[in-house]
Structure 1
Amino acid sequence: MRRCLFCDEEMEEVLTWRSLLLRLNAKVICEGCESRLAKISGETCTVCSRELDEKFRMGDRCLDCVRWEKDEKWKGCLTKNVSIFHYNDYLKDIIAKYKYRGDYALAEAFVPFLREKMKEMDFEIITVIPLSEERLKERGFNQAQAFTDLLCLEALQLLTRVHTEKQSKKSRKERISLPQVFQVTQTDVIQNKSVLIVDDIYTTGSTLRHAAKILKIAGAREVSSITLAR
């Protein structure tokens, strides 16, 4: 009997030859927990995947992305971000357990959702948002790297990161005005290539745009991203 990775309750399994053969793709969270993950749906911003409403949009973009794209410093840096879930209180708690309390196994629950979304995306190279050496020692693993490892995808280490205060402690204004914190480690492999960045959460979009901008300056043709939550 398998147990749900989120709530630890026993999960009923209907065993068939197909389910045995595809056991690696079997669900690892129960239906109740999955139902609490709020999938992003409907009409979304063509840049960041935010669900659009009439009060916070201009055409097919949310007002945040309109502001980013009007700024010559950031215009066109990030081609598109694809996010899967709303960052609601339930998911916030799950990610906190995974990211800050070191429950690495929780990453497995998100792999099927990431795999499905990535099938729809075009890219040539995958990388992840890196942690600084200090943050990596503190957490023990890179949460974004764990996703690509479980997906059996080769994520190139294209970026290094300067140690800064935790993003979660910064205000929106502080995140947007941050100085560049990334450096590119491999410029030869990204020349005229389409790069996909993997990360866990899209908040203001500042981190991903900083990474995307420096990759494009270094020679990438375009940069997109995929995140669990937005």
Structure 2
Amino acid sequence: MANCMICFNSYSEVTWNSLFYYGDPTPLCAQCSHSLERIKGKLCEDCGRPLEKLSEEYIFQDRCYDCVRWSEDPIWKDSLKTNRSVFTYNDFMKEILSTYKFRGDHQLSLSFKKDLIQTYKQYFSTSMMIVPIPLSQERLYERGFNQSLVFAEFLGHPKEILTRIHLEKQSKKSREKRIESDHVFKMKEEMDLKGSQILLIDDIYTTGSTIRHAAQILLSSGAESVSSLTLVRS
């Protein structure tokens, strides 16, 4: 028996799936595991949003309306190649992320490890350079750890080549204000990324502005392309 990492209730950690298919025991009880809404079905080819959750007027062939707007913006249209996410931002996930990020429960990251690795292998090449979205020093001091770096370490050997300037929390801004934000990221030091295919790692994709700000810095340093993998798609 083990204790679920989310609800702490006891459960049998060995299931038929873990025994015959996946090898590692699950860190979650069945109820919590089922409450995590995994992204599946037909997705926006750019951002990975489940299209079945959108009204038809917000779907343009294989893309959502948000991504159509990004593609029509002359400044941002080529900044991000693609994004894929693991879970949707339902009420259950919202509470988990609050516990994980803002109450400092670092161990909760293990709850997502298997699904994160599975999505990574499904959509991306293991030859890509893994780069976590950084926190500002102020945010890092508040939380005690960078959740994006923790996720990135599940996937390989991340390169912490970006640094972040302390600004108002992105979650408090409108979509327009997020896009207009300037000087969000910079390179830790000057380096030539010529020919590099980069995979940015972050906890949540909301408007896509955070990812694209980081992507533009990497592209300006010579990266060939920038994609992203996030735990959650809002």
Pairwise same-fold verdict (TM > 0.5)? yes
Give the gaps of 5 or more residues in structure 1.
none
Identify which of 92, 115, 125 aligns with 2:129.
125
Cα deviation 1:34-64 (Å, max 9, x = unaligned): 1111112211111101112422111111010
Q: Single out whichever of 179-188 and 126-135 deviates more from structure 2.
A: 179-188
Is 1:136 the counterpart of 2:140 in the alignment? yes
Cα deviation 1:167-217 (Å, max 9, x = unaligned): 122222221221131112355462211000110000000000000111011
Is 1:213 the counterpart of 2:216 in the alignment? yes
Is 1:162 the counterpart of 2:165 in the alignment? yes
Counterparts of 2:217 and 2:89, CA distance in 1: 27
Counterparts of 1:160 and 1:206, CA distance in 2: 16
Cα deviation 1:4-35 (Å, max 9, x = unaligned): 0010000114489x85xx86x32101110011
Counterpart of 1:9 in structure 2 is 9
CA contact (8 A) 1:125 1:156 kept: yes
Where do 1:1-230 residues align within 5 Å? 1-14=1-14, 19=19, 25-52=24-51, 53=54, 54-120=56-122, 121-122=124-125, 123-149=127-153, 151=154, 153-188=156-191, 190-230=193-233
SS at match of 1:85: strand
CA contact (8 A) 1:187 1:219 kept: no
Counterparts of 1:104 and 1:215, CA distance in 2: 28
**CA 15–63 in structure 1, closer or farther in 2 if over 3 Å, else same:** closer
**CA 13–29 in structure 1, closer or farther in 2 if over 3 Å, else same:** closer
| Amino acid corresponding to residue 137 of structure 2 in structure 1 | E
**CA 184–101 in structure 1, closer or farther in 2 if over 3 Å, else same:** same
CA contact (8 A) 1:129 1:198 kept: yes
Cα deviation 1:85-133 (Å, max 9, x = unaligned): 1101110100110001000000000000011011121242101000011
**CA 42–60 in structure 1, closer or farther in 2 if over 3 Å, else same:** same
Counterparts of 2:179 and 2:35, CA distance in 1: 30
**CA 158–8 in structure 1, closer or farther in 2 if over 3 Å, else same:** same
CA contact (8 A) 2:14 2:25 kept: no
Counterparts of 2:14 and 2:136, CA distance in 1: 44
Counterparts of 2:117 and 2:15, CA distance in 1: 23
TM-score norm. by structure 1 comes to 0.92
Counterparts of 1:6 and 1:13, CA distance in 2: 14
Counterparts of 1:31 and 1:76, CA distance in 2: 41
TM-score norm. by structure 2 comes to 0.91
Q: Single out whichever of 167-176 and 209-218 deviates more from structure 2.
A: 167-176
SS at match of 1:5: coil
| Amino acid corresponding to residue 137 of structure 1 in structure 2 | Y
SS at match of 1:156: coil
RMSD of the alignment, in Å?
1.9
Give the gaps of 5 or more residues in structure 2.
none
Counterparts of 2:129 and 2:2, CA distance in 1: 35
**CA 104–192 in structure 1, closer or farther in 2 if over 3 Å, else same:** same
- Percent identity over paired residues: 44
CA contact (8 A) 1:43 1:51 kept: yes
